[in-house]
């Protein structure tokens, strides 16, 4: 390749990898398998190493992914949470062993082999035998404090057994969701008209970031621990300390094994490559570590990973089949997603007929032609994806797949925004899947939470009874009864749910509008600064970008949304219907004050006018501290309905003042 072509390829790979980093770490919605991602990263790394003139400090090769979110407090790791080098080949495992032996000048070396769990990395800190903090990996330097959520996981001890543990230490592991638990959660989500999780890792990641620990407690998360860090550990080897950790109450995998040489390591790898499918949880590889801590220190670290450990990743099960056609789907934002229709093939226990192709870049990257024989695998052993083409079986003269130029639903010319991988249909007002998609988003649980509406939208839209989300508020019982399979009770329930949605707080209404790039967190941030829709409509580009965490892309999207007269019309209809398009009296007081400074407040029960999250935020914004348990330091117990009897009993025993929602609001005025 010419230098110009190399530069072009490097920039393309960076763009693709940045996109998939965001999908994986931030949205927990990976679109390609680990194998595909690692191959792209490896290609980029080799090109950069051979062409240093194209070095970029912001290249995906120079950083790790980041799963931190604004809703949680960020904590700096005492010991950086580095990632492991990945390999899929036995040759690279052999190279790793040889590098270790060379680095240790031929010293006798013992290795441990452990299963690599497919979950979410967590660091647990203990002091005097008590769990004090749980922090996610984040960017390796800082992570999210998810202590309250982690305390609900029954396999994680809150208090250690015995008395021979260090005064203070950290133990790291992987939080995961076993297969049966994953299946149960997805069945429940389908019943509630919620989208199912793509795989157990996504479900575990999503659960760990929920704001309500009570909801986390209902999900059967599990945790295996695999590494101990501290200044006064009882033993000098990794294996001995993990064995001891079992006695303290930690769940350590029974499948960890000491291996004395390369033959034993490969024996372990080959055994679990076959037997992993019998396990009740997901595992995607084997981690090989030098056992002795002194030898680990001698070998040291690179900027991103230890030199004394490596992860061998199993290749996902693959099958070959014939590509029959490509269908293009239109999402609520107008994003076009190509989906391959395949000749049915058995893969990992299920028959696969369709597979995602993501975007035009992916089609070009795979060099897919019409009627190709393709390799299919399941990303995370769940989602079927095309990962390659068997070019030996390609027929002479077969045509390349040309990505469509027009929307398959409304015929509009597609556009592609600079820096984005997707193509979009710009016809937001007239493209049926976009209109229905926006209404479905509007009624979803995290938005307006209009129960039973999602299953009705298609019928209402097709009959001309609704053309936007605001029209829902003007439906009559007769309108709903005119639909097939709708009786008196169903119609009343839907109308009641629509009426109840008028009390949904403003920040959720803002999210429900479906403004591009304005997710739950962004909506919350903007609503805190501009507590009414009119203020946001009048805010300039400069005003919006001045808000923390609001970049130019989000700001421009908001400006564009309110420039559209059709959107203004929808907002007017929502106003007239009585939807909350401004903060209520409670949230309007959410400016930083010190009225609750020095006060520790425990919240328990359910409240008539506001959620516990809103009350918690109000406490913090007015200088107070929301604590989870009652102690002698507690100033108030903010009690709602169905308060926990133990908390009430303890509050009375310690003479803690018990206040209701109205009393609490009085403290702020």
Q: Verify that 496 and 569 share a domain, yes or no.
A: no
Give the pLDDT confidence score for residue 71 in this predicted structure. Answer: 61
Q: Is the pLDDT of residue 587 over 60?
A: no
Q: Which of 503, 528, 554 is the last residue of a domain?
A: 503
The answer as to whether 247 is a domain residue is: yes
**Where is average pLDDT lowest: 22-26, 73-77, 257-261, 395-399?**
22-26
Q: Is the pLDDT of residue 380 over 60?
A: no
Contact 417, 516 (CB under 8 A): no
The answer as to whether 563 is a domain residue is: yes
The answer as to whether 495 is a domain residue is: yes
> ∠ CA(228), CA(241), CA(278), 5° rounding?
85
The answer as to whether 333 is a domain residue is: no
CATH number at residue 653: 3.40.50.10190
Give the pLDDT confidence score for residue 387 in this predicted structure. Answer: 86
CATH number at residue 48: 1.10.287.610
The helix, strand and coil proportions of the chain, stated in percent and rounded to the nearest 5, come to: 40, 20, 40
Kindly list the catalytic residues.
116
Give the pLDDT confidence score for residue 382 in this predicted structure. Answer: 59
Contact 176, 119 (CB under 8 A): yes
Residue-wise pLDDT for 155-169, tens only, equals 999 889 888 999 999
Q: Verify that 535 and 648 share a domain, yes or no.
A: no
The answer as to whether 93 is a domain residue is: no
Nearest of 29, 152, 135 to residue 72 by alpha carbon: 135
- Structural domain including 7 reads 3-62
Q: Verify that 36 and 141 share a domain, yes or no.
A: no
- Residue range 223-245: mean pLDDT, rounded: 95
Q: Verify that 216 and 140 share a domain, yes or no.
A: yes
Q: Which residues contact 427 (CB under 8 A, 6 or more apart)?
A: 334, 407, 410, 412, 434
Give the pLDDT confidence score for residue 46 in this predicted structure. Answer: 87
Q: How far is the CA of 238 from the CAs of 85, 137, 168, 230, 295, in angstroms?
A: 19, 21, 17, 12, 11
Q: Which of 269, 292, 311 is the last residue of a domain?
A: 311
Q: Verify that 594 and 560 share a domain, yes or no.
A: no
Q: Which of 544, 577, 610 is the last residue of a domain?
A: 577
Q: Verify that 184 and 299 share a domain, yes or no.
A: yes
The answer as to whether 426 is a domain residue is: no
Q: How many CB atoms lie within 10 A of CB 139?
A: 17
Residue-wise pLDDT for 498-544, tens only, equals 999 999 999 999 999 999 889 887 898 899 889 999 999 999 999 99
Q: Verify that 545 and 627 share a domain, yes or no.
A: no
Q: Verify that 189 and 134 share a domain, yes or no.
A: yes
Q: Verify that 189 and 54 share a domain, yes or no.
A: no
- Residue range 405-422: mean pLDDT, rounded: 91
Q: Verify that 464 and 525 share a domain, yes or no.
A: no
**Where is average pLDDT lowest: 22-36, 85-99, 648-662?**
22-36
Q: Is the pLDDT of residue 241 over 50?
A: yes
Q: Verify that 216 and 303 share a domain, yes or no.
A: yes
Q: How far is the CA of 192 from the CAs of 204, 207, 448, in angstroms?
A: 19, 17, 14
Q: How confident is the model at residue 29 (pLDDT cuts 50, 70, 90)?
A: low
**Where is average pLDDT lowest: 58-72, 408-422, 600-614?**
58-72
Tokens of 261: 């040489």
pTM: 0.53
Looking at the 3D structure of the chain, how many domains does it have? 5
Burial of 431 (0-12, 13-18, 19+ CB in 10 A): buried
Residue-wise pLDDT for 554-568, tens only, equals 999 999 999 999 999
Q: Verify that 597 and 571 share a domain, yes or no.
A: no
The answer as to whether 340 is a domain residue is: no
Q: Is the pLDDT of residue 197 over 90?
A: no
Highest mean pLDDT among 283-297, 353-367, 475-489, 575-589: 283-297
């Amino acid at each position: 390749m010419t230098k110009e072509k190399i530069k072009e390829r490097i920039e393309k790979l960076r763009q693709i990898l940045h996109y998939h980093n965001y999908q994986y770490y931030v949205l927990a919605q990976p679109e390609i398998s680990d194998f595909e991602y690692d191959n792209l990263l490896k290609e980029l790394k080799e090109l950069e190493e051979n062409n240093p003139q194209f070095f970029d400090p912001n290249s995906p090769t120079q950083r790790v992914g980041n799963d931190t979110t604004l809703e949680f407090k960020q904590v700096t790791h005492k010991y950086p949470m580095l990632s492991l080098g990945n390999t899929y080949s036995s040759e690279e495992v052999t190279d790793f062993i040889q590098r270790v032996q060379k680095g240790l000048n031929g010293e006798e070396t013992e290795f441990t082999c452990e299963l690599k769990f497919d979950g979410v990395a967590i660091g647990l800190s203990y002091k005097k035998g008590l769990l004090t903090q749980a922090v996610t990996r984040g960017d390796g330097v800082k992570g999210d404090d998810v202590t309250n959520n982690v305390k609900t996981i029954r396999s994680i001890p809150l208090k250690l057994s015995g008395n021979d543990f260090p005064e203070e230490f950290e133990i790291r592991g992987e939080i995961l969701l076993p297969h049966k638990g994953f299946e149960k959660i997805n069945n429940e989500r389908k019943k509630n008209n919620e989208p199912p999780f793509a795989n157990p890792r996504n479900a575990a990641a999503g659960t760990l970031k929920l704001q309500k620990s009570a909801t986390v407690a209902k999900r059967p998360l599990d945790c295996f621990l695999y590494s101990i860090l501290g200044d006064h550990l009882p033993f000098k080897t990794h294996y001995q300390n993990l064995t001891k950790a079992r006695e303290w109450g930690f769940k350590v995998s029974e499948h960890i094994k000491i291996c004395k040489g390369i033959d034993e390591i490969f024996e372990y790898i080959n055994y679990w490559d076959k037997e992993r499918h019998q396990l009740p949880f997901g595992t995607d590889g084997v981690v090989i570590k030098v056992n002795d801590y002194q030898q680990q220190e001698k070998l040291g670290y690179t900027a991103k990973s230890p030199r004394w450990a490596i992860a061998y990743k199993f290749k996902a099960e693959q099958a070959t089949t014939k590509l029959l056609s490509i269908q293009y789907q239109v999402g609520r934002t107008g994003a076009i997603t190509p989906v391959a229709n395949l000749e049915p093939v058995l893969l990992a226990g299920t028959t696969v007929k369709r597979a995602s192709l993501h975007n035009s870049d992916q089609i070009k990257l795979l060099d897919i032609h019409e009627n190709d024989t393709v390799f299919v695998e399941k990303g995370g052993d769940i989602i079927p994806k095309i990962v390659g083409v068997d070019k030996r079986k390609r027929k002479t003269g077969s045509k390349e797949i040309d990505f469509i130029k027009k929307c398959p639903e409304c015929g509009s010319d597609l556009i592609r925004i600079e820096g984005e991988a997707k193509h979009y249909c710009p016809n937001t007002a007239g493209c049926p899947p976009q209109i229905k998609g926006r209404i479905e988003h509007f009624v979803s649980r995290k938005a307006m939470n209009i129960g039973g509406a999602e299953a009705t939208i298609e019928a209402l839209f097709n009959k001309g009874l609704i053309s936007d989300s605001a029209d829902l508020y003007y439906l009559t019982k007769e309108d709903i009864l005119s639909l097939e399979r709708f009786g008196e009770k169903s119609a009343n329930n839907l109308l009641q749910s629509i009426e109840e949605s008028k009390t949904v707080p403003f920040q959720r209404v803002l999210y429900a509008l479906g403004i591009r790039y304005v997710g739950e967190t962004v909506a919350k941030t903007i609503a805190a600064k501009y507590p009414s829709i009119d203020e946001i409509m009048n805010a300039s580009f400069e005003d919006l970008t001045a808000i923390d965490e609001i970049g130019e892309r989000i700001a421009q999207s908001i400006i564009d949304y309110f420039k559209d007269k059709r959107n203004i019309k929808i907002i007017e209809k929502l106003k007239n219907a009585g939807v909350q398009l401004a903060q209520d009296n409670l949230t309007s007081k959410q400016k930083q004050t010190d009225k609750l400074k020095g006060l520790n407040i425990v919240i328990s029960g359910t409240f008539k006018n506001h959620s516990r999250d809103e009350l918690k935020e109000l406490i913090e914004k007015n200088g107070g501290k929301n604590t989870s348990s009652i102690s002698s330091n507690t100033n108030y117990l903010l009690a709602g309905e169905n308060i926990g009897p133990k908390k009430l009993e303890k509050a009375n025993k310690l003479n803690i003042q018990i206040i209701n929602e109205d009393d609490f609001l009085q403290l702020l005025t």
